[in-house]
Amino acid sequence: MEKKFQNHIISNFSFLKDKKLLLATSGGIDSMVMTYLFHKLNLNFALAHCNFQLRGTESNDDETFVKQFAKENKIECFTIQFNTENYSKEYKLSTQIAARKLRYDWFHELIEKEKFDYVATAHHLDDQVETFLINFSRGTGLDGFTGIPSVNGNIIRPLLIFSREEIEEYAKENQIQWREDSSNASDKYVRNKIRHQVVPVFKELNPSFLSSFQNTLENLKQEQSLINDAVQNAYQNVVIEENNQLKITISTLLSYTNYKAYLYQWLHKYGFSAWDDLFDLVHSQSGKQIFSDEYVLLKDRAFLILSKIEKKENEEYIINSITEKPNFPLNFELCNLSDISNSLKNIIFVDESKIQFPIKIRKWKEGDYFYPSGMQGKKKVSKFFKDEKFTLFQKQDTWILESKNEIVWIIGYRADDRFKIDNTTQHTIKITFTNEKNI
Amino acid sequence: MEKKFQNHIISNFSFLKDKKLLLATSGGIDSMVMTYLFHKLNLNFALAHCNFQLRGTESNDDETFVKQFAKENKIECFTIQFNTENYSKEYKLSTQIAARKLRYDWFHELIEKEKFDYVATAHHLDDQVETFLINFSRGTGLDGFTGIPSVNGNIIRPLLIFSREEIEEYAKENQIQWREDSSNASDKYVRNKIRHQVVPVFKELNPSFLSSFQNTLENLKQEQSLINDAVQNAYQNVVIEENNQLKITISTLLSYTNYKAYLYQWLHKYGFSAWDDLFDLVHSQSGKQIFSDEYVLLKDRAFLILSKIEKKENEEYIINSITEKPNFPLNFELCNLSDISNSLKNIIFVDESKIQFPIKIRKWKEGDYFYPSGMQGKKKVSKFFKDEKFTLFQKQDTWILESKNEIVWIIGYRADDRFKIDNTTQHTIKITFTNEKNI
């Protein structure tokens, strides 16, 4: 058993050697087995534990357990406490989604701040089966069936090929300690039903069910890649990007008998829901429009034209002083020098003396240029967008912070070199941007 | 309930009006409800009942029940008895596959002989869910998840949107009689487990599970259509059909990062199983080959070349007399004129006096021509293949029956006009071809 674990890590995760790793550790059996395993392999890692404060003292005991374990084994350990309930209410998210967002946002913060190379989570094969069947029970498409990837950017899931049974055996053999019931998922009831009532039937019908399931996942992933090819190929034939709009040429679109499938694939990320009406647009009279929260699709003679709904009234925000709380989710904070850490996507540190109030937040416009931090010289913002492969709508969504007609920050993406702190800086301003949608 | 049934038929199966229909009737609740419903709608139909003789007297009682019902209601009824056990042994098929093959072959025979427009089977939504989950339990890909189509050529499934519960209610309301347990499927044990232990959990977790499942199926079907586009598109870019071979240009193939998915989609119908070896062929040295039962894929410098394995020794069969049993699955039978029915795909009737022994069975060759029955004049066989959209390998698989260097029959596809019976015919020869693979 141990050999299988180690061989898997050695052969499929060889890139972890000499990397700085962060293990997401709830204190449950899966993450403790993962920790033990990484320890055995002498990998260089720290632990990260989220206390979502959803189960009172139990949550706190989990935190204590992980901290204690880390201390005893001399492993660096990061912990954080989230007010998950409040957060989920504020952003109108389910507890589950809120917890996931808080967790991964924090991981990414730690990656940047502490220079980790990868974060590992302890998802295993039974998690995959359960998620598949939960999605099946709710109704889904192929994307609900393809599972979570074992490597996704800097998030890795090294236990994905192992069953719960194997992990339990390994924990027993190696007398690994763990905390029961450390899941915070609000889909717990559903997951337990699937785990205890459905999956055992499949395992009874097919003794090698889990391995068949792995093949199924692999097949579906391959098929997903074919879909991506078809979607991209047709997009190139049918869609024109111009003037901040996507123009879909109806005649070319209709050369695909399954054009509805293409429209869905191209447009579902823009939040449309009235799909039948949207499909009908192809044949309806010019001028008809279908709306999502932020986008509109217009039938305009030979085209369907997708554009962002402009909210003109919100286009500029003036902030008069550092103490003013702007009508925009941007926070200011005067810092001691000792508090300064690296800039993050949503946080920058600037020299107070270089900023001149009032400052302004506005959308990008043609002709804008700035001095990207970490680079020599100036750059057109449009060139920056192009290099970063921004989509049309990402460009439109991006906010600019400016002081005296100079760009201070492409908010959420890149600071300007002219305003950065240096060894002459007396006072530092920390600017935090918390607009959910743009980060 | 009744209205929903009728509206569904009226709005989605309006093409059935004035058509000649054949209802596949096992005697079970589903097919009896379908029969009742078609009767209510005054559609023009006959019944077809297969007795697979798998459950002794029970099978015979089912047959009697259907016949009796048809008689009482003055409905035309076709019945047939199959020795399913023998057939499945002879052709090394599972009982389930054998029964399905016998059943659909017979339906197609009846369609041609009796000039039916459509055959209707009584599959319903719970069948679809169960099949999905059975495939899931065994391991599958998207094709195991997309369900059976409601219209597939001349096979229709008008009850596919209805649940078992709705059908049961309808049967009760209308006091419809049926026979319990008329299924002959060998996957019965598996299906029952799924039906009684798995599906109820999903229905409990999601009260509108069946309708969510319908959406899932619809999504997956749409996605399947995108895959087909991708597969076809890449085929056009990468594959050359020439000299009875498929040539895959490796350099173009490798421009697709997911080239394995494409190779699988193109080649799986040729019976390959050593997929990893096959994928490796792309990078292996020239001359290496991978075999399936009937095909070989050869690495030849810049190409992978697929060709049929030639079995030279079997290429010609000489048959010396009408009583000779050829070493080839072709049967002869002298008929009375009264026995003559229409020619079928695998049966033709010819005038004995026009045939001259020895006759020969051979593969098609360039330059062959014949006088297709029902047409004026002669036609090149190559042109016939083209018009019938034969694939390369279908052409290679096709056998020709010839007498005195004249083509009598493109076996399994088209008889020649010169040998047909007419009102001067004294004796008729019935020729039956039963090669499983070619029909």
Instruction: Judge whether A83 and A128 are in contact, CB under 8 Å.
Output: no
Instruction: Return the pLDDT at A31.
Output: 96
Three-point CA angle B186, B187, B192, nearest 5°? 125
User: For chain A, how long is the longest CA-to-CA vector?
Assistant: 72
Share of chain A above pLDDT 90, in %: 57
Give the residue from A208, A226, A237, A264 with the most B CB atoms within 10 Å of its CB, the best one to mutate.
A226
Instruction: Return the pLDDT at B329.
Output: 66
Q: What is the rounded CA–CA span in Å between residue B423 and residue B436?
A: 33
Chain B partners within 8 Å of A215 (Cβ): 139
**SS3 of A183, please?**
coil
The annotated binding site of B is made up of: 26-31
Q: Residue A301, by phi and psi: left (phi above 0), alpha (psi -120 to 50) or beta?
A: left
Indicate whether A1 pLDDT > 90: no
**SS3 of A187, please?**
coil
Instruction: Return the pLDDT at A436.
Output: 47
- Do B216-308 and B314-438 fold alike per CATH? no
> Cβ contact (<8 Å) for A229 and B225?
no
Instruction: Judge whether A22 and A45 are in contact, CB under 8 Å.
Output: yes
Element (H, E) at B80: strand B77-81
> Cβ contact (<8 Å) for A258 and B227?
no
**Any alpha helices (H) in A43-180, and if so which ranges?**
56-72, 84-90, 95-114, 125-138, 164-173
Q: Which CATH class is domain B2-205?
A: alpha beta
Question: ω into residue A358 within 30 of 0, thus cis?
Answer: yes
Instruction: Return the pLDDT at B432.
Output: 82
- Tokens for B320? 């010396």
Residue B10, C-beta contacts closer than 8 angstroms, at least 6 positions apart: B41
Q: Does B233 touch chain A (CB under 8 A)?
A: yes
**DSSP one-letter code for B340:** -
The β-bridge relationship of strands B303-308 and B151-152 is unpaired
Instruction: Return the pLDDT at B439.
Output: 31
CA of residue B85 relative to chain centroid, distance: 20
Domain residue spans of chain B: 2-205, 216-308, 314-438
Of A137, A204, A233, the CB nearest to B206: A137
Phi, psi of A419 (to 5 degrees): -105, 5
Highest mean pLDDT among A71-75, A400-404, B423-427: A71-75
> Cβ contact (<8 Å) for B212 and A137?
yes
Look at A53-62, A336-345, B108-117 and tell me which has the smallest mean pLDDT.
A336-345
Query: Which residue of chain A is at minimal alpha-carbon distance from B198?
Result: A198
Indicate whether A437 pLDDT > 50: no
Q: What is the rounded CA–CA span in Å between residue B118 and residue B107?
A: 9
Q: Which CATH class is domain A313-438?
A: alpha beta
Instruction: Return the pLDDT at A314.
Output: 57
**SS3 of A313, please?**
helix
Average pLDDT score, chain A: 88
Q: Does B256 touch chain A (CB under 8 A)?
A: yes
Chain A partners within 8 Å of B216 (Cβ): 136, 139-141
Instruction: Return the pLDDT at B339.
Output: 64
Instruction: Return the pLDDT at A425.
Output: 85
A402 forms bridges with which residues in the sheet? A360, A407
Chain A partners within 8 Å of B215 (Cβ): 139
ipTM rounded to 2 decimals:
0.74
Instruction: Return the pLDDT at B341.
Output: 61
Instruction: Return the pLDDT at B438.
Output: 36
Other beta carbons less than 10 A from residue A176's beta carbon: 16
Q: What is the rounded CA–CA span in Å between residue A434 and residue A331?
A: 8
Rounded mean pLDDT for each run of 10 residues along chain B, 439 residues in total: 81 90 95 93 94 90 96 96 90 86 92 93 95 95 91 93 93 92 64 94 96 95 96 96 89 96 95 93 93 92 90 72 73 67 74 89 88 88 87 80 92 89 85 58
Q: Which amino acid is at A160?
A: L
Q: Say if domain B314-438 classifies as CATH 3.50.40.10.
A: yes
Q: Say if domain A216-308 classifies as CATH 3.40.50.80.
A: no
Write b or e for each residue in A74-107: b if 16 or more Cβ atoms lie within 10 A of its Cβ, otherwise e. ebebbeeebebeebbeeeebebeebbebbbeebb
- Closest of A407, A406, A383, A403 to residue A395, by C-alpha: A383
Q: Does A145 touch chain B (CB under 8 A)?
A: yes
Query: Which residue of chain B is at minimal alpha-carbon distance from A230?
Result: B230
- Tokens for B343? 């020619």
Look at A11-25, A29-43, B334-348 and tell me which has the smallest mean pLDDT.
B334-348
Q: Does A213 touch chain B (CB under 8 A)?
A: yes
Other beta carbons less than 10 A from residue A133's beta carbon: 25
Exposed / middle / buried, residue B41 (Cβ in 10 Å: 0-12, 13-18, 19+): middle
Chain A partners within 8 Å of B233 (Cβ): 229-230, 233
B247 forms bridges with which residues in the sheet? B240, B305
pLDDT grade for A39, boundaries at 50, 70 and 90: very high
Q: Does B204 touch chain A (CB under 8 A)?
A: yes
- Residue by residue, DSSP assigns B28-59 as SHHHHHHHHHHHHTT--EEEEEEE---SHHHH
Indicate whether A119 pLDDT > 60: yes
> Cβ contact (<8 Å) for A227 and B223?
yes
Instruction: Return the pLDDT at A344.
Output: 64
